[in-house]
Every structure is written in structure tokens, then in C-alpha cells.
Structure 1
Amino acid sequence: MRDDITYQVLVNDEGQYSLWPAHHEVPAGWRADGTTGTREECAAHVDEVWTDMRPRSLREAMS
């Protein structure tokens, strides 16, 4: 099955990332990081930038 959906990369205040269909409204608590493309392109971007999966609040508490 071919995926013709354009995705965008979202990030929340905890620094967690998600892929979201670009034609859908961004849900509360999330913001677009400016990356759009195929699912694979967006997933590759997330893999590159989200190197620490811990929520921001946990990373700060452990510092």
C-alpha cells in the first residue's frame, strides 16, 4: 500500500517528537518543528534530532 500523505514533525514541551499528517490541525500541546515530507523523510529527521528519548523534565531533574 502506498502512503501519499504528507507528514510534518511535531514536538511538545517535553522535547518528544511525533509524526502527524500535515493536513490535520496540530493538537494542543504540540508545535510543528518545520519539517514536512514523506513518512520516511520525517522519521529520518526525528531519528537524527531526537537522540535522548527521556522527557525534558527528567533530563533536567537528573542534571
Structure 2
Amino acid sequence: MSEIDSTATVYQVVLNDEEQYSIWRTDREIPSGWFAEGTTGAKQECLDHISRVWTDMRPKSLRLRMEAAAQSN
């Protein structure tokens, strides 16, 4: 038996201020700078959710700078 039974481990989707996504085990404290997005479940369920909602991989600060530059042209 493995140390971590992946079928029993519950994950949550976490998000940072740059709107970047990751997953984190629910039995562990979320690292500083990240917060729970609200989705929990099996690892693959969380990864599938991220694939659906994280459609622009650019950090938020970069997107805002690019939008500002485009508007000033």
C-alpha cells in the first residue's frame, strides 16, 4: 500500500492574487498568498476544473499591463 491513497485524498483548488491556480490537499494548511477557490474533490476532478476555468495563463498583473498598453495606443 502506498503512503498516500490517491482515491481517499481530497484536494481543493487554490488561487493566488495573480489569479494562478493550483491544487492543495485539504488536510494541509493552505500556503500564504493562496486561498481556497471553493472547488474540492479528487485530484483529477480539481485538475479538470482548473482546465475549464483557467483559460488565460498570463498572471493578472501582466494582463492588466497589456490591456493598459493596448488602450494607450
Same fold? TM cut 0.5: yes
Structure 1 segments, 4+ long, off by >6 Å, are none
Q: 1:20 aligns with which of 18, 24, 46?
A: 24
Structure 1 gaps of 5+ residues are none
Structure 1 distance, partners of 2:21, 2:12, is 10
Higher Rg of the two aligned structures = 2
Q: 1:42 aligns with which of 46, 49, 57?
A: 46
Q: 1:7 aligns with which of 11, 35, 58?
A: 11
Q: Give aligned-pair identity as a percent.
A: 52
Structure 2 distance, partners of 1:34, 1:25, is 15
- Of Structure 1 and Structure 2, the greater strand share is in 1
TM-score norm. by structure 1 comes to 0.95
- Of Structure 1 and Structure 2, the greater helix share is in 2
Which deviations, in whole Å up to 9, do the C-alpha atoms of 1:6-52 show, x marking residues without a partner? 00000000000001001101110000001000001000110011000
TM-score norm. by structure 2 comes to 0.82
Structure 2 gaps of 5+ residues are 68-73
